[in-house]
Amino acid sequence: MTDLPEGVPFDPATDPPVGPLVDATPRPLPARVPHRGASVDLEPLHVRHAAELFRAAQSQAAEASWAYLAAGPFATEAAMRAHVAAFAATHDPMAWAIRPHATGTADGWLTLMEIHPAHAHIEVGNIWFSPRMQRSRAATESIFLLLRHAMDELGYRRMTWKCNALNMPSRRAAARLGFTYEGTLRDVLVVKGRVRSTAWFSILAEEWPARRDAMVAWLGDANFGPDGRPRRGLAELRG
């Protein structure tokens, strides 16, 4: 079996080769419930968040934050409200509004999506951080809360991160969080009239404990100096 693809697990007792046996119990579906963190709260997305989200999007840098998303930017609060109302009614993706403690307002959203209970596969994605929330402690913790919920509390085996292959900030974020790049599907979608290639990343169950522990250490108060900046990076904490 020396000609098998590198890195693809298989059961050595089988011929022809097939994958190892796993716990095939379907995982629970995520619930539309809040998640509380040290620097941020996640609230199930609701139309009542629309006004705060629209205000959070009002800055010179805001338009660029929508460049790689299928929705936005929104010219009016009514347009934002219509989008949020429809978005909040879906179960896949399931969306949460992000409320950093530092501002007390809904400053973005993120979702669990591509939910496959029978395959224990789920994705964190469709993330929009307003400019004032980008590159913040709350941004990292908001993602961590959903990763922990899916992997530890619901027992999913594979967590996926996907993004437009040209979206370098998202690619850097995936690498920073410890996702492994798997490849790029070329010209797979049309978004806002433009062709999109999609880069794929993942964290598997056996990799998750080390990723989780690094995120917990990074988010801890001891890792932040008086200026609010982290003393050590996530990659450094993973070792």
Give per-residue pLDDT as tens, 113-140: 999 999 999 999 999 999 999 999 999 9
Is pLDDT of 4 > 60?
yes
Confidence of residue 210 (pLDDT cuts 50, 70, 90): very high
Segments in the chain forming alpha helices (H): 50-56, 77-88, 137-148, 168-177, 208-219, 234-238
100 has a pLDDT exceeding 80:
yes
- In this predicted structure, what is the pLDDT of residue 33? 97
pLDDT band at 60 (very low <50, low <70, confident <90, very high): low
In percent, the amount of the chain with pLDDT more than 70 equals: 99
Predicted pLDDT at 17: 92
- State pLDDT tens for residues 31-57: 999 999 999 999 999 999 999 999 999
Q: What is the pLDDT of residue 41?
A: 98
The type of residue at 54 is F
State the sign of the Cα–Cα–Cα–Cα dihedral 177, 180, 181, 183.
negative
- pTM (predicted TM-score): 0.96
- What superfamily does domain 35-238 belong to in CATH? Gcn5-related N-acetyltransferase (GNAT) (3.40.630.30)
The tally of CA atoms less than 13 A away on the side-chain side of residue 95 is: 22
Distance CA 172, CA 91 (A): 28
- Within 13 A of 137's CA, how many CA atoms are on the CB side? 24
Residue 126 region by backbone torsions, left for phi larger than 0, else alpha for psi between -120 and 50, else beta: left
What average pLDDT does range 190-199 have in this prediction? 98
CB 165, CB 197: distance < 8 Å: yes
Q: Report the Cα–Cα distance between both ends of the chain, in Å, rounded.
A: 33
Place 1 in a pLDDT band, splitting at 50, 70 and 90: low
